[in-house]
Amino acid sequence: MNPGSSGNAQKDKEYGLLGFIEGHPGNIPDTDVERISSYPHLVAREFLAFGLMLATLLVVSFLFDAPLEELANASKTPNPAKAPWYFLSLQEMLHYAPPFISGVFIPGLLVMVMCTIPYWRGRMSLMPIMFLLSAILLPLLDGIVWAGIHAVAPGFADATRSLGFPTFIMLIISAFGIGKLLLNPYFDDEARVEVLRKRLFLVFVGIVFVLVMIGQFFRGPEWRWVWPWQ
């Protein structure tokens, strides 16, 4: 058992250095922190929460039926064929970028970047992360910019697609960011890393949320935009 979790520091006793390392198994908890036994206080709450969850689930299950459509038919493609909702952000990106980019490359990189989140710290080069992020964002933004141009001037968009025109715009924009980083690749300040991490993560969560919502409620046949009330 973790000795630190049961005993409390006593005034007239000497403690080794390890006792003061937060998170170390030998850590001696502060005496001025009020502790209570987890049984029954925590355990009772857990059972209560579980019971409430189960009750809610039962009520929902009596009120709403899980969908079951017709028997699977390989020769009858529904339009649109939608992935499960938690993959709709990927399917929505599929609309803007080639399948490999939107369905494999971007999600794979994102999972990797997500794993690194706790390890970002002050005085580290953000180059690798910036590089990964621009690898993710560029093709996607490219697709979105192109879709935007296409909505306004389809002919122009089609004609310039092969020239990589939107990519060019994106490169110019990102050149500013990359240039700035080249001049000062180190974030030597923990607070700045903190701000960056928070912004990037929340923007990421926001984008996924918006894409899932669009995919679920605003996409119809041929993945065209439809309003939910149409």
Cβ of residue 121: shortest distance to another protein, in angstroms? 9
Alpha carbon distance 33, 204 (integer Å):
37
Cβ of residue 219: shortest distance to another protein, in angstroms? 12
Q: Which long-range contacts (CB under 8 A, 24 or more apart) does 55-62 make?
A: none
Among 114, 104, 93, 89, smallest CA distance to 206 is for 89
Task: Rule CB under 8 A: say whether 152 interacts with another protein.
Answer: no
Task: Rule CB under 8 A: say whether 75 interacts with another protein.
Answer: no
The phi, psi pair for 186, rounded to 5°, reads: -100, 135
Q: Mask of contacts with another protein, 4-23, x by CB under 8 A?
A: xxx---------------xx
Q: From 9-17, 38-46, 146-154, 179-187, give the range in contact with another protein by CB under 8 A.
A: 38-46
Using alpha carbons, list the distances in angstroms from residue 45 to 5, 12, 16, 48, 58.
20, 37, 36, 5, 20
Alpha carbon distance 85, 140 (integer Å):
20
Contact 164, 80 (CB under 8 A): no
Task: Rule CB under 8 A: say whether 35 interacts with another protein.
Answer: yes
Using alpha carbons, list the distances in angstroms from residue 138 to 102, 160, 170.
11, 17, 7
Closer of 140 and 178 to another protein (Cβ): 140
Q: Mask of contacts with another protein, 100-119, x by CB under 8 A?
A: x-xxx------x--xx-xxx
Where does this chain bind another protein (CB under 8 A)?
1-2, 4-6, 22-23, 25, 27, 29, 33-43, 45-46, 49-50, 53-54, 57-58, 60-62, 64-74, 76-78, 81-87, 90-91, 94, 98-100, 102-104, 111, 114-115, 117-119, 201, 205
